[in-house]
């Protein structure tokens, strides 16, 4: 899973502290339930303050679908919702656990300063 | 976003990608309130998808047509650069004639940049595509070489 740089900064978000790993953000958004593209962008913005550009979002969806971590659902009008697969949930859990360890260790170091 | 702009932006993606995601992606673009940075984001993402599509080995190599190869960025960008360099030479001749100038000037620097920067693109294209589709790739390389020589010829023969 890789991060890309095409994450548009939300206007009211803090100057620093943006997290920009679009595939992980998409997985985290879908962990709440199936969503289509527009709903994912809104949800991710609420979740972490980063607004994914539409191209970045669909790039991430394409990669995640290739890997079998998300699955398309039947379209509603011209919008197609996606849902996270069990394999995607495993990946999300593993990634977030790693991030949690990393964050805990990093914050502990900051406490010493 | 304006639906016509959305349609145009979706057309920048490779065909396979459009067939899979085109309709829903266009709907997403058209239904969103226009953010100034969105078109740039989409153009960059489309380029990325084209690069990824270029890296992938086609399932049936015999089905790869010359037209499909020549539409790859690695094929047409060097040709476009050569032709742009040629246009610069003609524009320079039209304005200043064929007498050598004391100072090389911006046109000469631009010409040198265009001619030099296309070489790595050309090499990457050849390395990537010659093993996959040699006949079609050689045809494209011949076109690239012709465009390169066409741009080089007036500078060489007119001693610009």
Of the three residues B55, B81, B99, the one that is the final residue of a domain is B55
Domain that holds residue B142: 63-157
Q: Of the ranges A17-21, A92-96, B44-48, B135-139, which one carries the lowest mean pLDDT score? A: A17-21
B64 in Cβ contact with B129 (< 8 Å): no
Q: How large is the average pLDDT for residues A67-77?
A: 90
**What domains sit in chain A, N to C, each tagged with a CATH number?**
7-112 (1.10.10.10)
Q: Supply the ipTM of this predicted assembly.
A: 0.75
B58 in Cβ contact with B88 (< 8 Å): no
Nearest CA in chain A to B50: A59
Residues B85 and B140 in one domain: yes
Residues B70 and B46 in one domain: no
Nearest CA in chain B to A55: B42
Q: How large is the average pLDDT for residues A68-73?
A: 93
Query: Do the Cβ atoms of A59 and B49 come within 8 Å?
Result: yes
pLDDT per residue of chain B (160 residues) written in tens, 0 to 9? 788 888 888 898 988 888 899 889 998 888 877 677 888 889 888 888 887 776 554 444 555 677 888 888 888 888 999 999 889 888 888 887 777 666 667 888 888 889 999 888 888 888 888 877 788 888 888 988 998 898 888 887 777 6
pLDDT in tens, A31-41: 999 999 999 99
Residue with the two structure tokens 């890296």: B55
Residues B32 and B74 in one domain: no
Residues B132 and B96 in one domain: yes
Residues B77 and B137 in one domain: yes
Q: What share of chain A is helix, strand, coil (3-state, %, to 5)?
A: 55, 15, 35
Of the three residues B15, B34, B55, the one that is the final residue of a domain is B55
- Our CA-based measurement puts residue B23 at a distance from the nearest CA of chain A, in whole angstroms, of 7
Residue B30 CB neighbours (<10 A): 18
Of the three residues B39, B55, B71, the one that is the final residue of a domain is B55
Residue with the two structure tokens 């010659």: B130
Separation between Cα atoms, residue B141 and residue B84, nearest integer Å: 18
Of the partner residues B20, B24, B48, the one whose CB lies closest to the CB of residue A37 = B24
Of the partner residues B23, B27, B37, the one whose CB lies closest to the CB of residue A53 = B37
């Amino acid at each position: 899973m890789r991060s890309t740089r095409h994450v548009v900064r939300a206007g009211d978000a803090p100057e620093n502290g943006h997290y920009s790993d679009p595939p992980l953000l998409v997985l985290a958004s879908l962990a709440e339930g199936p969503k289509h593209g527009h709903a994912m962008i809104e949800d991710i913005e609420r979740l972490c303050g980063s607004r994914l550009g539409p191209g970045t979002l669909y790039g991430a969806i394409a990669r995640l679908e290739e890997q079998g971590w998300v699955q398309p659902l039947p379209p509603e009008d011209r919008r197609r919702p996606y849902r996270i697969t069990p394999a995607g949930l495993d990946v999300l859990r593993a990634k977030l656990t790693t991030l949690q360890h990393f964050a805990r260790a990093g914050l502990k170091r900051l406490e010493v300063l | 976003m304006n639906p016509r702009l959305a349609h145009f932006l979706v057309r920048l993606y490779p065909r396979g990608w459009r067939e899979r995601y085109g309709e829903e992606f266009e709907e997403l673009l058209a239904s969103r309130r226009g953010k100034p940075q969105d078109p740039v984001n989409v153009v960059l993402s489309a380029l990325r998808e084209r690069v990824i599509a270029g890296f992938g080995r086609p399932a049936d190599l015999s089905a790869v047509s010359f037209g499909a190869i020549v539409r790859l960025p690695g094929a047409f960008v060097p040709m476009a650069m050569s032709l742009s360099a040629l246009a610069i030479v003609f524009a320079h001749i039209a304005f200043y004639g064929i007498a050598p100038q004391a100072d090389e000037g911006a046109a000469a620097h631009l010409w040198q940049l265009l001619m030099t920067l296309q070489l790595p693109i050309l090499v990457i294209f050849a390395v990537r595509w010659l093993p996959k589709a040699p006949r079609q790739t050689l045809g494209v390389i011949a076109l690239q070489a012709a465009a390169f020589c066409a741009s080089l010829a007036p500078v060489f023969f007119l001693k610009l």
